[in-house]
Structure 1
Amino acid sequence: MKKLQNSLYITKDGVYLHKQRETLLIEQKVEGEKQKLMQLPIHSIGSIFCFGNIMVSPQLLGFCGENGTHLAFFDMHGRFLANVVGKQTGNVLLRRQQFSVQEQAANELAKHIVAAKIRSSRMLLLRFRRNHNSTPQLEKAIDRLKQIIEQLKGVTSYDTILGLEGEAASHYFSAFADMFKGNESKQLFDKRTRRPPKDPVNAVISLLYSVLGQEISGALQGVGLDPQVGFLHKERPGRNSLALDLLEEFRAYIVDSIALKLFNNKSLTTKDFETDCLGGVTIKDDARKLVFQAYQAKKQEEVIHPFLQEKVQIGLLPHVQAMLLARHLRGDLAHYPPFVIKK
């Protein structure tokens, strides 16, 4: 099993990252003088995520590309900008099989991924209901999501799959708004908004969706798949469609659950966010660090994988699912088993 390496999140504007022998140095200039903020063994780091105005040396860029260290750049809203891509790994025959999947088989894959997404979304609603007072919207969403899962079983049309996914998402986020407690709840989340996010919860989940999506892209590249060629999300220039496909399996289970916990235990409040002149909401620096700490803690947790029936760290799930998808495309597995928690 692959070892879960450390992820480094750089959020301080103006810092400089560079490599010195086997060490990663993080520095900033203070009154014209270099000041060392941190140093880390470079081989202990699997991913580096840079937010805002971060400078990286050519030597470090080259090291990341050559050694498969995932280095990605985002704006302050968490919108992905660019990443470092090294040598393509894996068998070219696998990518050829990925590219040649027929429409019917692609729709079947898309359907299984959507069904898993809806099951995980419904499970989050059910878990919340077990520990809190329910609401009419919550009950309606739980019931309708169950019906949609059943409807999907007999569907073969791509447009119908998309339509049911959209309806499920609408019900889910309507109920999601009822899951935030306290006097600030209406200010925290009203509906799903993005580019830019319009409230604190959307700012957090957009940020983490973006980061997790990049980790999934790295996992897909690691098994030799092309992250841009998807089945649920069709190809579009500059979009990692297959990474977005697998992201659907983890949105509720990983990201949405983190947001609920952070806001409901008051680790985050409206005071931790700023609104820009266009109405976009951004996370303040200290709060962003807290979000990443919670994300890293979640990744360290273990779960019994429903298909493998083995304990797996949550942070390794993208790599496991990428491996299972590759095995399916090679013909080693009759069906791709998307990740979904049973309880």
Structure 2
Amino acid sequence: MRRHLNTIYVTSEGAYCRKDGANIVVEVDKQERGRAPIHVIGGLVCLGRASISPSLMNACTEAGVTISFLTEHGRFLARVEGPRSGNVLVRRTQHRTADDPAKSLVIAKGIVAAKLANQRTVMRRALRDYGDAGSLADAEKRITHIARHALAATDIDMLRGCEGEGAALYFGAFNAMIRHEDPKFAFQGRSRRPPLDRANALLSFLYSILGNDCRGALEGVGLDPAIGFLHADRPGRMSLALDLMEEMRPVLADRLALSLINRRQLAVSDFETSETGGVLLNEAGRKTVLTAFSERKRQTLRHPFLGEDMPLGLIAHVQAQMLARHLRGDMDGYPGFLWK
């Protein structure tokens, strides 16, 4: 079983990352802010204007530590990594499968059904914690019905229609799961590029960070993150990373976003509004979210298919491995991740 490694998120403007012996050191204004041994780190993520010394970059690539550069608000910019040992035959099979409507539909149905089931679990936990609020119980029942239709879909367009209908119901009831009394945390429907309220800003940031993790998990098993089965090919889009992320969103992003808001771990002052009206997390807010995200990934659960206990942070890697095994013919199907 793969060992869960930590990720360092560098959020301070002007931060400088350097190598000191076998350690990664982060400095701000020439003052040390953090230090960690390279061998316990799986990824180094720099948000905003952070720089890295050539010696640290070399050490990271040799140790298999992926370096990612994102904007301060989480949009992907670039990635630096060492040589990959992925099997080219797996990628060739992946491409052929993506071009086969029948084969790709089977994989995509597992992804969508798992996403809908996990969204339903988020809603059920809110119902358990707070009781019925508005149409939450009704939406939960309807998503269960849509999940059954998704498994019976006969083509990718029908499946995408089920996924879209489920998303509309889920986000239509999302505000009922927010228990913060301040109307400034109200959710007015999904908005992005730019997000128009604080809840959407939080979701978009978490999705960006999660998407980077999913891309790394797929590349780690030799798959091409740009060739997906549910999301259509598009220049610059990591379609398979988006596919894999669909199962993870409710578990690692949506539930965490609700907890951060409902437990008052984020304040109005942790956000800022741009001149165009977009709402974004500021540096203090990003630090709070990234700390909570790292803690969330360390939480342990039992994988429903494998029957093994593992940190949540390993789920994306395990799902990527099972997808690769299915494409190689070692598994009859791809089992989507179901959160219980």
TM-score interval, smaller chain: over 0.9
Count residues in correspondence.
338
The correspondence of residues 1-343 of structure 1 with structure 2, limited to 5 A, is 1-29=1-29, 34-101=30-97, 102-185=100-183, 187-341=185-339, 343=340
Shift of 1:302: 0.9
Structure 1: 4+ residue segments shifted above 4 A: none
Q: What secondary structure sits across from 1:46 in the alignment?
A: strand
Q: Which moved more, 1:181-190 or 1:5-14?
A: 181-190
Shift of 1:2: 1.0
Contact 2:114 2:337 in 1 (8 A): yes
What is the CA–CA distance in structure 1 between the aligned matches of 2:274 and 2:321, rounded to whole Å? 41
Q: Deviations along 1:11-36, whole A, 9 cap, x unmatched?
A: 1001111223322222233xxxx333
Shift of 1:272: 1.6
Q: Deviations along 1:64-99, whole A, 9 cap, x unmatched?
A: 333321211111221111111321322111111111
Contact 1:70 1:84 in 2 (8 A): yes
Residue segments in structure 2 that go unaligned for 5+ positions in a row: none
Q: What secondary structure sits across from 1:136 in the alignment?
A: coil
What is the CA–CA distance in structure 2 between the aligned matches of 1:20 and 1:206, rounded to whole Å? 35
Change beyond 3 A, Cα 1:321–1:43: same
Contact 1:77 1:196 in 2 (8 A): no
Q: What secondary structure sits across from 2:8 in the alignment?
A: strand
Contact 1:89 1:221 in 2 (8 A): no
What is the CA–CA distance in structure 1 between the aligned matches of 2:61 and 2:192, rounded to whole Å? 30
Shift of 1:141: 1.2
Provide TM-score, normalisation by structure 1.
0.94
Contact 2:14 2:51 in 1 (8 A): yes
Provide TM-score, normalisation by structure 2.
0.95
Q: Which moved more, 1:255-264 or 1:236-245?
A: 236-245
What is the CA–CA distance in structure 2 between the aligned matches of 1:80 and 1:195, rounded to whole Å? 13
Between the two proteins, what is the percent identity of the paired residues? Answer: 44
Change beyond 3 A, Cα 1:185–1:312: farther
What is the CA–CA distance in structure 1 between the aligned matches of 2:196 and 2:158, rounded to whole Å? 30
What is the CA–CA distance in structure 2 between the aligned matches of 1:35 and 1:147, rounded to whole Å? 56
Change beyond 3 A, Cα 1:39–1:182: closer
What is the CA–CA distance in structure 1 between the aligned matches of 2:57 and 2:210, rounded to whole Å? 21
Shift of 1:172: 0.0
Contact 2:118 2:247 in 1 (8 A): yes
Shift of 1:174: 0.9
Shift of 1:113: 0.4
Q: Deviations along 1:113-147, whole A, 9 cap, x unmatched?
A: 01110000011101110121313321231121111
Residue segments in structure 1 that go unaligned for 5+ positions in a row: none
Q: What secondary structure sits across from 2:26 in the alignment?
A: strand
Shift of 1:204: 1.5
Shift of 1:186: 5.6
Shift of 1:185: 4.2
Q: What secondary structure sits across from 1:210 in the alignment?
A: helix
Shift of 1:234: 2.0
Q: Which moved more, 1:71-80 or 1:112-121?
A: 71-80
